[in-house]
Chains A and B, each alone.
Chain A
């Protein structure tokens, strides 16, 4: 297990360097003036312009620039500054708790609702199709879950966000429509559901497929031949194996929450990291966007690493390769 963990961590290094280099080159080294491009349509006063050029050391050789940048990002948490001089790192430090609460809420929805729906549909499909019945359509539960999740996946999250705000917030008044005044969990329930909706569909489908696949595995037949009661066959010999890919998938969702939080925090006015990007996008404030997204990518890569390690713990076959 330790060798596996060390190898995974080492594999991260080139990806980390490559990703940051990529963002860096893209933003600061492309032909044209990066400061003007980042500023977008907003005209920059000359003093600000020269300050930004100096700040980013744009007259140094590219690799030196990158070295300084990556050192700053990785060891000093320096993700650059906003136009009005606030450090992006500080911005993130001030707002990450909101995003974390939103992500936790959404993640819980995915975990509980997504997996339950998947297991419900999977068992329904398996009952109809038998242990070797394949992915054929099962009973009502299966059809309902498949249909419902397909629609949930197809609706763009910003449409869903506005509709939810309109119906459950304004018309029915069940949840607050914006802000975090009501605290956790009340303020986070509706946005959490919206962030989770599409991914919840994927989780339910993955759980279902994985369950049905596992139902026809040879070792499930062995479990039946051992004379084990049905619930034991299902729980210990089918669910335990089926949930490995689902748990892995749920782990990689952290990255999705980051992107999802931009839209949902923006629409529900939750002052998190995504909201900062949302605001920066409204006024086309490039350095802030790039700084925060770099941070989010690092979080995403780190989450993936944790998931990989978790996978090694859950599936004994992985860690001995």
Chain B
């Protein structure tokens, strides 16, 4: 992979590549390994879902991409984040700032706390245009209303003068989206955008995101703990566990034939319409403490397939290609992935 920025990227080259990312938190002398060698690629116009439980490092890695983590206590100890070939982590803060919002934008889980309570929403959207584009007050304001209208906020012109707490949860998230789209970013990172919302509103927001992504052909990274949320909109999924990617696959492949015992467990523990008769089976145990990740495969203490296998407890499995669909399409970090795959084929 080349590390030079090219104004005209070759088609098919990744828009955003995260390569061997390591993030540690060091609060008061302890070390917490939040992200441990995460790699993924996002292509133009693609929707990539990052799935994991809380504490799996999915949000931390997203914030690391944008440089939102505070250091201390967070330290990016290794790895690269390349946007169109430019390693963002190596840029000085001044230049890195020009990527935030303009090239890569982010929306957060709780729009109420993510929006500044003392500024009008119109001003918060307009601020992007004033700072990055140098627009005047009224021009920025006008454009902000257009953006609010585009995310389907009713009577946007009037509501631009309201404060965040005067909006409903779904409408607030729309404001966040309008703000994120203000500068036509190439990548939008949505960190659990619907978790705080009602189910019906969730669906509306996901549909809006999908439509906007289609319209603007941006790359969309969708971070979630909920398989059901991403099933319809994502192209590919990266499953994270204890700060690592344990499986990477196209959505339909992952659903049909998981290639990692953790994914297998996740699928067995949520109700699914296509397997109505099957009983729900929870994954035993709880996710490991990131301050003391088990040696070997981090999932082995909870893995039904690791019983009596010494290799699982001693050797860290690499994320490797286990089946081909196209390049890097199907990867799993299990020593016995091949054993998992046919199993899944049999049951489905």
A-side residues, CB < 8 A to B, are 128-133, 217-219, 221-229, 232, 236-237, 240-241, 244, 314-317, 320
Q: How far is the CA of A240 from the CA of B132 in the complex (A)?
A: 21
Q: How far is the CA of A244 from the CA of B116 in the complex (A)?
A: 13
Determine if B101 and A225 form an interchain contact, defined as CB atoms under 8 angstroms apart. yes
- Other-chain residue from B63, B73, B101, B118 in contact with A226 (beta carbon distance below 8 A): B101
In whole Å, how far is B81's beta carbon from the nearest beta carbon of chain A? 14
- Other-chain residue from A129, A225, A228 in contact with B66 (beta carbon distance below 8 A): A225
Q: Residue of A at shortest CB range from B120?
A: A316
B282 located at the interface, meaning its Cβ lies under 8 Å from any Cβ of chain A in the complex: no
Which residues of chain B from 51 to 78 have a CB within 8 Å of any chain A CB? Answer: 63, 66-68, 70-74
B165 located at the interface, meaning its Cβ lies under 8 Å from any Cβ of chain A in the complex: yes
Q: How far is the CA of A243 from the CA of B38 in the complex (A)?
A: 40
Determine if A227 and B98 form an interchain contact, defined as CB atoms under 8 angstroms apart. yes
Q: How far is the CA of A278 from the CA of B99 in the complex (A)?
A: 65
Q: How far is the CA of A49 from the CA of B89 in the complex (A)?
A: 86
- From A129, A131, A132, A232, residue with most partner B Cβ within 10 Å: A132
Determine if B127 and A222 form an interchain contact, defined as CB atoms under 8 angstroms apart. no
Determine if A237 and B132 form an interchain contact, defined as CB atoms under 8 angstroms apart. no
Q: How far is the CA of A128 from the CA of B70 in the complex (A)?
A: 10
Residues of A close to B71: CB separation below 8 A: 130
- From B63, B72, B179, residue with most partner A Cβ within 10 Å: B72
Task: Give the number of residue pairs across the A-B interface with Cβ within 8 Å.
Answer: 89
Q: Residue of A at shortest CB range from B94?
A: A229
Determine if A219 and B117 form an interchain contact, defined as CB atoms under 8 angstroms apart. yes
B100 located at the interface, meaning its Cβ lies under 8 Å from any Cβ of chain A in the complex: yes
Q: How far is the CA of A40 from the CA of B318 in the complex (A)?
A: 89
In whole Å, how far is B291's beta carbon from the nearest beta carbon of chain A? 17
Which residues of chain B from 160 to 205 have a CB within 8 Å of any chain A CB? Answer: 163, 165-166, 176, 179
Which residues of chain B from 115 to 166 have a CB within 8 Å of any chain A CB? Answer: 115-119, 127-128, 131-132, 163, 165-166
Residues of B close to A222: CB separation below 8 A: 108, 114-116, 176
Determine if A241 and B117 form an interchain contact, defined as CB atoms under 8 angstroms apart. yes
In whole Å, how far is A237's beta carbon from the nearest beta carbon of chain B? 6
- Other-chain residue from A129, A133, A226, A320 in contact with B127 (beta carbon distance below 8 A): A226
- Other-chain residue from B73, B101, B113, B127 in contact with A218 (beta carbon distance below 8 A): B113
Q: Is the interface of B mostly helix, strand, loop or mixed?
A: loop
Q: Please judge, given known A-B contacts A227-B97, A227-B101, whether A221 and B165 are in contact too, CB under 8 Å.
A: no
Determine if B131 and A232 form an interchain contact, defined as CB atoms under 8 angstroms apart. yes
Residues of B close to A315: CB separation below 8 A: 117-118
B105 located at the interface, meaning its Cβ lies under 8 Å from any Cβ of chain A in the complex: yes
Determine if B102 and A227 form an interchain contact, defined as CB atoms under 8 angstroms apart. yes
B240 located at the interface, meaning its Cβ lies under 8 Å from any Cβ of chain A in the complex: no
Q: How far is the CA of A191 from the CA of B193 in the complex (A)?
A: 56
Determine if A317 and B70 form an interchain contact, defined as CB atoms under 8 angstroms apart. no
Determine if B113 and A219 form an interchain contact, defined as CB atoms under 8 angstroms apart. yes
Q: Please judge, given known A-B contacts A132-B73, A217-B113, A226-B128, whether A316 and B100 are in contact too, CB under 8 Å.
A: no
Q: How far is the CA of A230 from the CA of B56 in the complex (A)?
A: 30
Bin the interface of chain B by size: 35 or more
Q: How far is the CA of A119 from the CA of B98 in the complex (A)?
A: 27
Determine if B131 and A228 form an interchain contact, defined as CB atoms under 8 angstroms apart. yes
Q: Please judge, given known A-B contacts A218-B114, A316-B163, whether A227 and B132 are in contact too, CB under 8 Å.
A: yes
- From A221, A227, A314, residue with most partner B Cβ within 10 Å: A227
Q: Please judge, given known A-B contacts A224-B68, A224-B100, A228-B131, whether A316 and B73 are in contact too, CB under 8 Å.
A: no
Q: How far is the CA of A320 from the CA of B97 in the complex (A)?
A: 36
B106 located at the interface, meaning its Cβ lies under 8 Å from any Cβ of chain A in the complex: yes
Q: Residue of B at shortest CB range from A315?
A: B118
Determine if A218 and B108 form an interchain contact, defined as CB atoms under 8 angstroms apart. yes
B253 located at the interface, meaning its Cβ lies under 8 Å from any Cβ of chain A in the complex: no
Q: Please judge, given known A-B contacts A227-B98, A227-B99, A317-B165, whether A133 and B114 are in contact too, CB under 8 Å.
A: no
Q: How far is the CA of A300 from the CA of B105 in the complex (A)?
A: 49
B110 located at the interface, meaning its Cβ lies under 8 Å from any Cβ of chain A in the complex: yes
- Other-chain residue from A132, A227, A241, A320 in contact with B116 (beta carbon distance below 8 A): A241
Q: Residue of B at shortest CB range from A229?
A: B97
Q: Can you sample 23 A-B contacts with CB below 8 Å?
A: A128-B72, A129-B70, A129-B72, A130-B70, A130-B74, A133-B72, A133-B73, A217-B113, A219-B114, A219-B116, A219-B117, A222-B108, A224-B66, A226-B101, A226-B127, A226-B179, A227-B97, A227-B100, A227-B102, A227-B128, A227-B131, A241-B116, A244-B118
Q: How far is the CA of A132 from the CA of B63 in the complex (A)?
A: 13
In whole Å, how far is A154's beta carbon from the nearest beta carbon of chain B? 29
Q: Residue of B at shortest CB range from A316?
A: B163
A226-B131, A317-B165, A320-B165 are known; give 10 further A-B pairs, CB within 8 A: A129-B70, A132-B73, A218-B108, A221-B68, A222-B176, A225-B100, A227-B97, A228-B101, A236-B119, A240-B119
Q: Residue of A at shortest CB range from B165?
A: A317
Determine if A228 and B127 form an interchain contact, defined as CB atoms under 8 angstroms apart. yes
Determine if B163 and A229 form an interchain contact, defined as CB atoms under 8 angstroms apart. no
Determine if B165 and A316 form an interchain contact, defined as CB atoms under 8 angstroms apart. yes
Q: Residue of B at shortest CB range from A130?
A: B70
Residues of A close to B105: CB separation below 8 A: 225
Residues of A close to B110: CB separation below 8 A: 218
Q: Please judge, given known A-B contacts A218-B114, A219-B116, A244-B118, whether A225 and B70 are in contact too, CB under 8 Å.
A: no
Q: How far is the CA of A226 from the CA of B108 in the complex (A)?
A: 12
In whole Å, how far is A62's beta carbon from the nearest beta carbon of chain B? 48
Residues of B close to A236: CB separation below 8 A: 119, 127
Determine if A240 and B131 form an interchain contact, defined as CB atoms under 8 angstroms apart. no
In whole Å, how far is A248's beta carbon from the nearest beta carbon of chain B? 13
Residues of B close to A225: CB separation below 8 A: 66, 68, 100-101, 105-106
Q: How far is the CA of A244 from the CA of B166 in the complex (A)?
A: 19
